[in-house]
Amino acid sequence: MGLASDLKILYHLALKPVRGKDHAARMESFYAGQAEAYDDFRKRLLKGRQELWNLIQAPEGGTWIDLGGGTGANLDYFGERLGKLSKVYILDLSHSLLEIAKKRIAAKSWTNVETVEADATTFQPAGGPVDVVTFSYSLTMIPDWFAAIENALAMLRPDGVIGVVDFYVSRKYPTDGLARHGWPTRTFWPTWFAMDNVFPSPDHVPYLHKRFDVLHFEEHKAKVPYVPFLRMPYYLFVGRKRT
């Protein structure tokens, strides 16, 4: 993957209009033309995914659902732990990204991984509650993110674990102990990312803290490919469903 691949991705990120009558159609319109080149570019853009996966235990015989899991790139972050789980679901609305995930699953002969084309705000696994739910850079792309978090809570077993890694901006006056971003950060990044229907929010982090017992939380800033000098805030959150 080189400059030509990056240019294609940048065209989709910055220029190609996103069309569609509903959210699912808009996701597919955005991702269809960039599915093949997705993983290479996002490896440089979406930081902290391996770190999040390292923070979460894979319970022996347990189930894990990655909501908005796209190409299944996060499957590589499980390492040996993948074999301990009885089932891993990669759920996404984008058919094109799930096709890449299917190829990955077939190439690695993973028998305990399944793709699900569905909406993270409504899907419930037929097999009952799951042990772990993750969102990696998907919460900012789900317009009804309240519904996505509530649905994640509904699909988790008591004491089940949620892991989230994503872009965000702080509130103007965040709770003590949380990072405070200045006006340029709080204004620039939401405006920039909105072009691609990505909505870094000041409310995701407070809402996760409100709804779950916090096991781990960290805040960082990452470089964005081809955007010199600026740093985009992102966070890692691990929480437990209250019983």
Comparison of 144 and 174: residue with beta carbon closer to ligand SAM: 144
C-beta of 74 vs 115, nearer to ligand SAM: 74
Min dist CB 168 to ligand SAM, Å, is: 14
Name the minimum Å distance from CB 141 to ligand SAM: 4
Q: Please list the alpha-helical segments (H only) found in the chain.
A: 3-14, 23-31, 38-45, 49-55, 95-108, 145-155, 183-194, 204-211
> What residue ranges bind ligand SAM (CB under 6 A)?
27, 31, 42, 46, 49, 68-70, 73-74, 91-94, 97, 119-121, 136-138, 141-142
Nearer to ligand SAM, 121 or 170 (CB): 121
Least distance between ligand SAM and beta carbon 60 (Å): 25
Measured from the CB of residue 187, what is the shortest distance to ligand SAM in angstroms?
22
Task: Give the tokens for residue 99.
Answer: 């096709």
Give SS3 for 65: strand
**Cα–Cα distances in Å, from 188 out to 27, 183, 194, 206, 230?**
23, 8, 10, 21, 10
Least Cβ distance, residue 18 to ligand SAM (angstroms): 12
Judged by beta carbon, residue 66 or residue 131, the one nearer ligand SAM is 66
What minimum distance in Å lies between the beta carbon of 175 and ligand SAM? Answer: 27
Residues 6 or more apart whose Cβ sits within 8 Å of residue 90: 66, 69, 70, 72, 75, 98, 101, 113, 114, 115, 116
Output 55 or 178, the one with its CB closest to ligand SAM: 55
Residue 26's nearest CA partner among 186, 167, 199 is 199
Residue 130, phi-psi category: left (phi > 0), alpha (psi -120 to 50), beta (remainder): beta
Q: For 239, how many CA atoms within 13 A lie in the half-sphere containing its CB?
A: 23
Within 10 angstroms of residue 34's Cβ, the number of other Cβ atoms is 20
Residue with Cβ nearer ligand SAM (174 or 196): 196
